[in-house]
Amino acid sequence: MSSIPGAHASLGFGRKRVEFYAAPGVTAGAAAHRGEHEIRDMDGQSHILRLSRPDTPLESGENVTVLRLQSGPDHESRPVALINHDRNAWTRTAPDATGILGRSGITRGLNWWLSMILFMVTALAFSWPDIRLFMLEVDPALFAALPDLNVFEMARQQFPILPGFDLAAVIPGFSGVAGQVSLAEWLTPNVLAFAAGLLVLALFTYFARSWRIIWVPAYAAAALAAGLALGAIAPLIPSMLALAGVGLLFCLGGIVNRTRDSARLEGRIARLSENILRNPPREGVSAPAAAGAALSTGVAADAVIEAAEPAADQAEAPEELAVEEAAELADESVDDDLPSDEALAAARADVAPADEDMADPAPVPSLRASQEDGPETRDPDRDMIMPPPPPLANRSVSDNGDAGEAGEPDDTPVAEAEAAGTTPDAVAATPETADTPQLDEGPEAGDDEQDPFLSSSPAREEDDPRS
């Protein structure tokens, strides 16, 4: 939506307020009557707007924003201005500000007219005897059936104290204050007291607004009492003057209020329209032709790419799998040549005899450097610290096929390592992460004597009690 300043988004009229908001849309063509146009908003709803100036240029497809006014949830929103972003101009919609305020329930026109009608009916009732007398003079036969109604005589019979009542004498000190002021001869303290009282009551009646239906009859009764008190012989003149005064107050007040409210509303509409014209709604402004073509081309390209992505993914899936497998093989080749845990477990299962009568297990090749490999031929990068062999693989095999006791110390590998120039300190100095040669199929049976781990040493045979 467009940016409407928060301080100007609402306007107060007494105890009631109106809220403004902007509705972007586009023109859909002219309506049936002159000056009416169809506006389609962003929700797809069509509205008929009647411009205050029918000759305002407006064509179909133009981006516009309708400034609307709403006085509360009980009243529907009404358009007050049409802002044309393509022409950089705005115009007022019909009706005018007075009609908008009246239809929105702000001006209380009905209440004002009811009050004026009650005052006119009261004036007609006060002057009914004179009106009937005039009609009888015109056509006695025709108007002889009219009722003879005299309100003053009825009030005089009901309230005998009213004729000649001195209100200034009832108010303490009022007669003395009024006597000190030089007034006209006809403006007596009693007339001044009734005039002041009627003026205060008229102001209460006018500003009561919603309570005028109660204060108007009260003022009519006060005017009747003032007529009887001030003119015992001719009470009609003071009463009619009181009604004329309050009627004049209502007319002047209504003109002032409507003029002021209309000016405030028109000024607020003009400021908001200028603000919306400078800050148009983003969702209601169309892009230029070149930008629109580029945007549509980009959207089409994106759609084609999105449609081709599944097929490309399916075609690239086997290639990606092959690449991943090759990378895994390369990683395995780069990594150390030590057997994995699964290979060690399989080797242990193959070496461990399932039964005592089984043949000798296949010898496990030694991963240490042989004695024949001298310092010149041995690759120092391939040296490593060999983990202890499995318990079953470290047993010495006797002539009858029985395995020796596990856990017995065997000094032969250490002696051979010392003879070959490889001491435990030298072995410990080699990096732990060095690569070792891969395991081969294993030496033949004749090579067991040369393997320091599987060869039967004299020390082991002497220590073995079963040999």
pLDDT digits (tens, 9 = 90+) for 257-268: 889 999 999 999
179-187: average pLDDT: 79
For the cut 90, the answer to whether the pLDDT of residue 374 exceeds it is no
pLDDT higher at 118 or 35: 118
Structure tokens at 134: 């005039």
pLDDT score of 378: 52
The stretches of 7-108 forming alpha helices (DSSP H) are 97-103
Exposure string of 208-243, with b = 16+ CB inside 10 Å and e = fewer, is: beeebeebbeebbebbbbbbbbbbeeebbebbbbbb
pLDDT score of 194: 94
Angle at 358 between CA 357 and CA 360, to 5 degrees: 120
Exposure string of 40-71, with b = 16+ CB inside 10 Å and e = fewer, is: bbeeeeeeebebeeeebebeeebbbbbbbbeb
Name the amino acid, one letter, at 424: P
Say which CATH number the domain at 18 has. 2.40.50
Residue 98 shares a structural domain with residue 148: no
User: What residues have CB less than 8 Å from 29, skipping those under 6 apart?
Assistant: 37, 38, 60
With cut-offs at 50, 70 and 90, classify the pLDDT of residue 65.
Answer: very high
Angle between helices 212-230 and 189-207 (to 10 degrees): 170
pLDDT score of 88: 93
In a domain, 70, yes or no: yes
With cut-offs at 50, 70 and 90, classify the pLDDT of residue 234.
Answer: confident
Taking the C-alpha atoms of residue 221 and residue 214, their distance in angstroms, rounded to an integer, is 12
Work out the mean pLDDT of the chain and round it to a whole number.
74
Backbone conformation region of residue 381, classed left if phi is above 0, alpha if psi is from -120 to 50, else beta: alpha
Angle at 17 between CA 14 and CA 19, to 5 degrees: 160
Residue 345 shares a structural domain with residue 232: no
| Closest to 409 in 3D by CA, of 360, 463, 449, 452 | 463
In a domain, 243, yes or no: yes
pLDDT score of 3: 60
Residue 135 shares a structural domain with residue 48: no
Residue 199 shares a structural domain with residue 334: no
Residue 433 shares a structural domain with residue 400: yes
In a domain, 142, yes or no: yes
Burial class (CB in 10 A: 0-12, 13-18, 19+), 379: exposed
Q: Is the pTM of this model over 0.75?
A: no
In a domain, 278, yes or no: no
In a domain, 31, yes or no: yes
| DSSP state at residue 93 | B
Out of 81, 107, 133, a domain closes at 107
Residue 70 shares a structural domain with residue 166: no
pLDDT score of 348: 72
Angle between helices 109-126 and 236-278 (to 10 degrees): 170
Residue 45 shares a structural domain with residue 118: no
Check: CB of residue 458 under 8 Å from CB of residue 414: no
For the cut 80, the answer to whether the pLDDT of residue 357 exceeds it is no
Domain count, the chain: 3
With cut-offs at 50, 70 and 90, classify the pLDDT of residue 108.
Answer: confident
| pLDDT tens sequence across 403-422 | 444 444 444 444 444 444 44
Mean pLDDT is highest, among 274-278, 321-325, 330-334, 449-453, for 274-278
| pLDDT tens sequence across 194-225 | 999 999 999 999 998 888 889 999 999 999 99
In a domain, 267, yes or no: no
Residue 17 shares a structural domain with residue 102: yes
Out of 224, 257, 290, a domain closes at 257
Residue 251 shares a structural domain with residue 149: yes
Out of 107, 135, 151, a domain closes at 107
pLDDT score of 325: 60
Range of the structural domain that residue 364 is part of? 330-467
pLDDT score of 385: 63
In a domain, 426, yes or no: yes
Residue 342 shares a structural domain with residue 443: yes
Please, how many CA atoms are within 13 Å of residue 335, restricted to the half-sphere of its CB? Answer: 9
Please give the C-alpha separations between residue 329 and each of 34, 317, 433, 438, in angstroms, as whole numbers. Answer: 83, 18, 19, 15
pLDDT score of 262: 92
For the cut 70, the answer to whether the pLDDT of residue 439 exceeds it is no
28-52: average pLDDT: 89
In a domain, 101, yes or no: yes
Name the amino acid, one letter, at 196: A
Residue 63 shares a structural domain with residue 142: no
Residue 37 shares a structural domain with residue 150: no
